[in-house]
């Protein structure tokens, strides 16, 4: 099977998906604007380097010329900004897989909600906005507090919660560069993900991650140590509603083969409310967390699913997995880590990754990468124990920079 895979070099986990494709026997034809190193090259049959992978029309023309006379069986991507490019390439070359219109339902946050709502599912009230006057009209419907964000954003960029008209006035000038946005009713609830590997829209692997705190707070409050917690027991009443919602959303949007990443809120009344969904793997450490939950390799199983429509991983949920991201106090280089030794003395047996930046290393930009100044991964068979240890890591480990 010949597979075109977009951007094998970036983001970092794309290397793993490339490896997975090679391991299930696909010939991987990479297309990207990065420079694959020797190790990645081993998994690539060929590589087309383009000036900018974001320039869709240019990439389509170049791939067309490059592939002349060669048959390809799949065109795949697993990075949000390239999902539409992959769909356009599929349509152009008559390759099977999700069509442009289907992918739009996973990219355009207004269309997505309309399609999900049409299936009778609970979504936030929302309106597409293209101008300042659109925004004022939209908040008449959504009310305050409201959320305003790009129509097809990612990583909480340019996303604002506004409590009232005064705050909205302050935020509007900062949205000037966003051509199309969406205004939404603010949903007060605990945010979770619902992640899957699907064959023909039917999940063959499912996972729920709880965000502590919600993503918008992780991205706006520097002092917070964000926690992502992969829940072991999917039948727990706290998350079962999200699983049920997620399955219906996949059907409503016409999911095909591949991974999906949905976000939803559990309100204080226990209702599961749709947030958003993408037809690709979750970023940051989401796939690693699922791999640690079941001791499997979903990079490879994704590849098997999208090439052979078979899933051979275990669905057994062995652990609750927590990732805790840390941020140093102060600017410049990391100067000290306090509390780590004591934490490891208590919980070290459950820690499976400890990647806090060491003294002397420059701080990372926490606004740009959730990875922040390093992370700890731990796991435990009990959801309660994993949560307790994660909260302890958030509170008791401090990093400093100077
Ligand atoms: N309607 C909403 N109600 C409450 N919080 C929201 C709402 N929309 C977005 N958020 C918050 O903002 C974050 C980013 O919004 P999201 O639609 O997920 O955009 P992105 O594509 O950037 O991830 C969400 O994860 C959530 O924390
Ligand atoms: Mg999101």
* pLDDT over 70, % of the chain: 100
Q: What is the C-alpha to C-alpha distance for residues 196 and 287, in angstroms, rounded to an integer?
A: 10
CA distance 5 to 14: 9
pLDDT tens-digit map of 175-234: 989 999 999 999 999 999 999 999 999 999 999 999 999 999 999 999 999 999 999 999
Query: What ligand is nearest to the CA atom of residue 216?
Result: 1
Nearest CA to ligand 1 atom 2: 186
- CB distance 150 to ligand 1 below 6 Å: no
Summarize pLDDT for 219-254 with one digit per residue, the tens. Answer: 999 999 999 999 999 999 999 999 999 999 999 999
Give the pLDDT of residue 157: 87
What distance in Å separates the CA atoms of residue 163 and residue 148, rounded to the nearest whole number?
11
DSSP E strand boundaries for 15-101:
27-32, 46-49, 74-76
Average pLDDT on 365-370 reads: 90
3-state secondary structure of 3: strand
263 CB under 6 A from ligand 1? Answer: yes
**368, pLDDT greater than 90:** no
Q: Are 67 and 76 in contact (CB under 8 A)?
A: no
Helices (H), 119-236: 132-142, 165-171, 215-220
- For residues 111 and 97, give the distance between their C-alpha atoms in angstroms, rounded to a whole number: 20
3-class state of residue 204 by DSSP? strand
From the CB of 193, is ligand 1 less than 6 Å away? no
pLDDT tens string 140-157: 999 999 999 999 888 888
Q: Give the nearest ligand 1 atom to 155 CA.
A: 22
Is the pLDDT confidence value at 8 over 90? yes
Assigned token pair, 3 = 């597979």
Q: What does the pLDDT look like over 97-144, one tens digit per residue? A: 999 999 999 999 999 999 999 999 999 999 999 999 999 999 999 999
Tell whether ligand 1 has an atom less than 6 A from the beta carbon of residue 216. Answer: yes
Map residue 187 onto helix, strand or coil: coil
Does residue 292 have a pLDDT over 90?
yes
pLDDT tier, 49 (very low <50, low <70, confident <90, very high otherwise) = very high
Predicted confidence at residue 33, as pLDDT, reads: 98
Q: What is the pLDDT of residue 277?
A: 98
**pLDDT value at position 69?**
87
Nearest ligand, measured from the Cα of 261: 2
Would you call 91 exposed, middle or buried from its count of C-beta atoms within 10 A (0-12, 13-18, 19+)?
Answer: middle
5 within ligand 1 shell (Cβ under 6 A) = no
Whether the predicted pLDDT of 284 surpasses 90: no
CA angle 149, 58, 303 (to 5 degrees): 70
CB 201 within 8 Å of CB 260:
no
Q: Which residues of 313-351 are buried (b: 16+ CB within 10 A; e: fewer)?
A: beeebebbbbbbbbbbeeeeebeebeebeebeeebeebe
- Report d(CA 218, CA 366) in Å as an integer: 9
The Å distance, Cα 61 to ligand 1 centre, comes to 35
Tokens of 218: 């992780």
Nearest ligand (C-alpha, residue 80): 1
Question: Is the distance from CB of 378 to CB of 340 less than 8 angstroms?
Answer: no
| Ligand 2: centre distance to CA 327 (Å) | 21
Q: Strand pairing partners for 127?
A: 183
Cα(81) to centroid of ligand 1, in Å? 17
Q: How far apart are CA 42 and CA 214, in angstroms?
A: 39
Q: What is the pTM of this model?
A: 0.97
The dihedral through the CA atoms of 399, 192, 320, 18 has a sign that is negative
**The pLDDT of residue 323:** 98
Q: Which residues keep their CB under 5 angstroms from ion ligand 2?
A: 263
User: Minimal CA–CA distance to 273: which of 117, 108, 105, 115?
Assistant: 117
Q: Which residue, 190, 114, 192, 182, is CA-closest to 142?
A: 182
Q: How many angstroms is it from 128 CA to the middle of ligand 2?
A: 17
Task: State residue 74's pLDDT score.
Answer: 98
């Amino acid at each position: 099977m010949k597979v075109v895979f977009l951007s094998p070099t970036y983001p970092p986990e794309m290397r793993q998906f490339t490896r997975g494709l090679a391991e299930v026997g696909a010939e991987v034809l990479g297309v990207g604007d990065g420079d694959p190193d020797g190790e990645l090259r081993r998994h690539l049959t060929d590589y087309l380097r383009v000036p900018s992978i974001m320039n869709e029309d240019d990439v389509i023309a170049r791939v067309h010329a490059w592939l002349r006379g060669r048959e390809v069986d799949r065109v795949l991507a697993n990075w949000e900004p390239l999902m539409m490019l992959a769909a356009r390439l599929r349509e152009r070359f008559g390759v099977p897989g999700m069509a442009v219109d289907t992918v739009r339902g996973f990219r355009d946050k207004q269309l997505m909600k309309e399609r999900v709502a049409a299936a009778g599912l609970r979504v936030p009230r929302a309106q597409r906005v293209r101008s300042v006057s659109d925004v004022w009209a939209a908040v008449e419907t959504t009310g305050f507090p409201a959320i305003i964000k790009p129509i097809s954003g990612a990583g909480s960029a340019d996303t604002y919660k506004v409590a009232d008209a005064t705050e909205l006035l302050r935020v509007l000038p900062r949205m000037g560069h966003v051509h199309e946005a969406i205004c939404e009713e603010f949903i007060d609830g605990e945010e979770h993900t619902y992640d899957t590997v699907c064959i023909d829209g039917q999940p063959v692997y499912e996972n729920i991650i709880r965000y502590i705190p919600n993503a918008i707070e992780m991205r706006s409050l520097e002092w917070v140590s964000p926690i992502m917690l992969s829940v072991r027991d999917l039948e727990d009443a706290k998350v079962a509603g999200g699983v049920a919602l997620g399955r219906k959303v996949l059907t409503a949007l016409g999911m095909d083969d591949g991974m999906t990443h949905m976000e939803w809120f559990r309100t204080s009344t226990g209702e599961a409310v749709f947030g958003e969904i993408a037809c690709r793997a979750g970023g940051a450490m989401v796939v690693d967390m699922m791999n640690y939950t079941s001791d499997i390799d979903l990079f490879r199983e994704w590849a098997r699913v999208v090439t052979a429509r078979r899933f051979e991983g275990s669905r057994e949920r062995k652990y609750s997995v927590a990732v805790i991201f840390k941020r140093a106090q102060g600017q410049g280089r990391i100067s000290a880590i306090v509390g780590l030794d004591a934490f490891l003395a208590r919980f070290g047996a459950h820690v499976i990754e400890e990647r806090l930046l060491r003294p002397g290393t420059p701080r990372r930009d926490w606004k740009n990468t959730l990875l922040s100044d390093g992370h700890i991964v731990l796991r435990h068979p009990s959801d309660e124990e994993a949560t307790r240890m994660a909260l302890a890591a958030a509170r008791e480990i401090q990093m400093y920079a100077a």
